[in-house]
Amino acid sequence: MLNRQATASTVSLRTSKRARAQIVMLLAQFLLGMGVNLIGLPSETSGVALGVTVAALVGHVAIALGLTVGAILTVRLAASMPGHRALAWSGLLLVVVTIAAGVPTMLLDSNWWSYLMAVGFAALLVVYGRLYLLVVRDGARRAG
């Protein structure tokens, strides 16, 4: 019994850390995306602004990959937590849809696709914030 409880506690701790990491990456993603949005796409800039927007865009793409890997890891961790499994899968689905909206945003220079990315960001904050709070609450309940 004790070993099973320790394992559940470890999974809970790892899941809360993973959800928190997703939230931090989402915030960084938002700030880099807004930077690119305000400065302009690389095709719209020159000089120092071009270097800054290229760096921000590369960071934006790198964090998108990190969010994808993090979402997959979160699904794997939450697999043994029936109450949290659906949130983890929702997070993965939203990450994929939000990233998929980024491609036409770049190719078509469309504000509507950019808006879909913003909606995805907001939904992901809710999903991973809720997952984090639920896991922390469950861990405190189990410990107390």
Read off the pLDDT band of 67 (50, 70, 90): very high
Could you tell me what percent of the chain has a pLDDT over 90? Answer: 67
Give the CATH number for residue 58.
Answer: 1.20.120
| Rounded Cα–Cα distance for residues 144 and 141 (Å) | 5
| Rounded Cα–Cα distance for residues 120 and 109 (Å) | 18
| Rounded Cα–Cα distance for residues 82 and 117 (Å) | 29
User: Which one has a higher pLDDT value, 12 or 126?
Assistant: 126
Whether 51 is covered by a domain: the verdict is yes
Whether 5 is covered by a domain: the verdict is no
Read off the pLDDT band of 70 (50, 70, 90): very high
State the average pLDDT over residues 99-118.
Answer: 89
Whether 2 is covered by a domain: the verdict is no
Read off the pLDDT band of 94 (50, 70, 90): very high
Q: What share of the chain is helix, strand, coil (3-state, %, to 5)?
A: 90, 0, 10
Whether 4 is covered by a domain: the verdict is no
Give this prediction's pTM.
0.88
State the average pLDDT over residues 102-119.
Answer: 88
- Counted domains in the chain: 1
1, pLDDT greater than 60: no
State the average pLDDT over residues 71-87.
Answer: 91
**Residue ranges making up the domain that contains 19:** 11-143
Show the CA angle centred on residue 136, arms to residues 22 and 99, nearest 5°: 20
Whether 112 is covered by a domain: the verdict is yes
